[in-house]
Structure 1
Amino acid sequence: MIENELTVYSKPSCVQCNATYRALDAKGIPYVIVDLSENDAALEYVKELGYAQAPVVVVDDQDHWSGFNPIEIERIAAHLV
């Protein structure tokens, strides 16, 4: 069960980021966007998670992924009630 909004760490003009927004919107999954180009702390955080590609979608500290991933979005949508 998703208790809070997802966080999507993204960058401007990112095709995979835009695809991720569209897929999350289509499933009614709430999220907030953090622009990595304007937030050094967020950039450091996603690097610490081991990612170098946007978007990085964070559900919680143990559940996150990088890139446009429809399978993960479907998994999250299945947990919405």
Structure 2
Amino acid sequence: MHITVYSSPGCMPCFGTKRALTKHGVPFTEVDVTTDPSAVEQITALDPEYKSTPVVVVLFDDGTIDHWHGLRDNKLQALAYLAAEAAV
């Protein structure tokens, strides 16, 4: 499982998302949309309605993709569970 968090400076939902992932030991890659010119294109390719950060993209080992925007506790808890299961 590979997780990418698209974030921006000063974004409190971004901070909360990254904090939750880190707290549960879930590895992720962070992409700052203000410094990566292709990041906005990548986000809008997923869903043109994504206008704010964070945007979280999860690529599962079977090739399926899940993505969402905003601070989603239910999704973050599910990722923590999956990461813990994978570590066993």
- TM bracket (short chain): 0.7 to 0.9
Identity %: 37
Equivalent residue pairs, number: 78
Q: Which runs of 4+ in 1 moved over 3 A?
A: none
Tell me what 2:17 maps to. 20
- Aligned partner (choices 74, 77, 81) of residue 74 of structure 1: 77
Q: TM-score, normalization: structure 1? A: 0.88
Larger Rg: 2
Q: Note the aligned Cα RMSD (angstroms).
A: 1.2
Residue 29 (structure 2) pairs with residue 29 (structure 1): no
Q: How far 1:62 moved relative to its partner?
A: 2.3
Is there any run of 5+ residues in structure 1 with no aligned partner, and where?
A: none
Structure 2: tracts of 5 or more residues without a match: none
